[in-house]
Amino acid sequence: MQANSECVRCGKTRVMSKSWSEEVGSSKITYMLTVCPDSDCQKIVEEQLQIKKDKANIRRTKRPKK
């Protein structure tokens, strides 16, 4: 099953870049990596996501320990 999704930045329909399957217990899981068809737009989206991840990691490491 593949759901159509749009790029969060430009709104174009994303395309499948890569897919792979893994066995987890007795289940088979299929992963699908989708990207924006505009490579310049995809680079910008990846940079924005990396900035969000970095900020989240900084917040996580600054939390006071209980």
**How does pLDDT run across 11-66, given as a tens digit for each residue?**
999 999 999 999 999 999 999 999 999 999 999 999 999 999 999 999 988 877 76
The reported pLDDT for the residue numbered 63 is: 75
The reported pLDDT for the residue numbered 64 is: 74
CB contact set of 15 (below 8 Å; sequence gap of 6+): 34, 35, 36, 37
Distance CA 55, CA 66 (A): 21
The reported pLDDT for the residue numbered 3 is: 65
Work out the pLDDT band at 4, boundaries 50, 70, 90.
Answer: confident
Judge whether residue 7 has pLDDT over 90.
yes
Distance CA 56, CA 49 (A): 11
Q: Which helix (H) or strand (E) holds 5?
A: none
Distance CA 48, CA 57 (A): 14
